[in-house]
Amino acid sequence: MSSVKQEYNDRPTDSRIEWLRTEVWESYAPYLLIAPAIVFLLSVVAYPILETFRLSLYQSPTNSPVETYVGVEHYVTILQSEIFYQLLWQTGRWVAVSVMLKTVLGLLIAVHLNQEIAGRKFFRTAFLIPWGIPYAISAVVFRWIHHPQYGSLNAILLELGLISSPIGVLGNPSTAWFGAVLADVWIGTPFMAIIFLAGLQSIPDDLYEAAAIDGAEWWHQFRYITLPQLKSVILIATLLATIWTFVSFDVIWTMTRGGPMNSSATLVIWIYRVAFDQGSLGEAAAYSVIGFAFLLVFAVLYLRLYTRGGESL
């Protein structure tokens, strides 16, 4: 600051203002340019998170503007309830199975579409169709597929002799969640396939040509070239898929509404029920904060696991 002041005093009087204006602009211009982005992020990210946390500390009925401060009472109630741990198990099962299936199927489809096959452009476009259909519409279609009397799933299983009488997948507490998983996998796999396909096309052909000259089989090329080269892509895709599946609402709500007997309810479905069926916004906000904490911890641990050893994305 003293050097700036000295330089200011050393300059002619008529040029001091212009010089000072240039100095201030060069010093603060970067902050001014990113200020709109910071304000936007604070408005759409930070404020809703902080407001949700504040709301979780109040007894806030849905049909009343009156709020009563209750501290951490909602959190204590949730942690002492049996339904919370049931929801954790069901949410973890829903996310793990769905993301695993989407990742494996998406990778297989991407590898296949990366080959020189007939109609490759058509298949690449066709695989995007499920991704473009609204989730609620896809869920309704799968409700009919699972229908015990009119659904095609029972017709196929009966034709193959795998079952002796029609089964109601969505009406059975043991299978309802898996029926919803099938719909979610059908919807989400195209996204994973396209992301993996883009990653596959960035791998230099020289690596495969050198491996082929050395006599490496297809599996060894996939194991030692494809997977390591796709590591960053797989990380981002699975992380996004995990977050989206965790907060997915449309599919489960449209197909089962969390039933029967809460067997397919996830944390997000329960938050909706607590907020709008039970009319307790404060408790729903507490559930939301807990869910956000789980996702945050998962994302941090996941990134640290993938980038351990000093590797970067």
Helix (H) or strand (E) holding 265: none
What is the pLDDT, as a whole number, of residue 3? 66
The answer on pLDDT for 241 being more than 60 is: yes
Which of 131 and 175 is assigned the larger pLDDT? 175
**Measured between alpha carbons, how far is 120 from 125 in angstroms, rounded to an integer?**
9
Picking from 5, 8, 27, the residue whose alpha carbon sits closest to that of residue 16 is 8
What is the pLDDT, as a whole number, of residue 80? 95
What is the pLDDT, as a whole number, of residue 161? 86
What is the pLDDT, as a whole number, of residue 131? 80
Q: What percent of the chain has pLDDT over 70?
A: 94
Q: What is the DSSP letter of 46?
A: I
Residue 119, SS3? coil
Q: What is the DSSP letter of 68?
A: E
Residue 69, SS3? strand
Phi, psi for residue 58 in degrees, rounded to 5: -125, 150
**Measured between alpha carbons, how far is 98 from 101 in angstroms, rounded to an integer?**
5
Which of 78 and 149 is assigned the larger pLDDT? 78
Interval 186-205 mean pLDDT: 92
**Measured between alpha carbons, how far is 196 from 17 in angstroms, rounded to an integer?**
57
Q: Per the structure block, which two tokens stand in for 227? A: 């997977």
Rounded to the nearest angstrom, the gap between the alpha carbon of residue 196 and the centroid of all alpha carbons in its chain is 16
Number of H helices, E strands in the chain: 17, 2
Q: Per the structure block, which two tokens stand in for 225? A: 């070239």
Rounded to the nearest angstrom, the gap between the alpha carbon of residue 188 and the centroid of all alpha carbons in its chain is 10
Rounded to the nearest angstrom, the gap between the alpha carbon of residue 280 and the centroid of all alpha carbons in its chain is 26
The answer on pLDDT for 306 being more than 80 is: no
Contact indicator for 32, 25 with CB cutoff of 8 Å: no
Task: Tell me the pLDDT tens digit for each residue of 260-288.
Answer: 989 999 999 999 999 999 999 999 999 99
**Measured between alpha carbons, how far is 96 from 220 in angstroms, rounded to an integer?**
27
* Residue 167 binned pLDDT confidence (cut-offs 50, 70, 90): confident
Task: Tell me the pLDDT tens digit for each residue of 105-163.
Answer: 999 999 998 888 888 788 878 877 888 888 889 999 999 998 888 888 888 888 888 88
**Measured between alpha carbons, how far is 234 from 212 in angstroms, rounded to an integer?**
24
How far is the CA of 242 from the CAs of 23, 287, 301, 304, in angstroms? 48, 18, 13, 16
What is the pLDDT, as a whole number, of residue 310? 58
Q: What is the DSSP letter of 194?
A: H
What is the pLDDT, as a whole number, of residue 312? 57
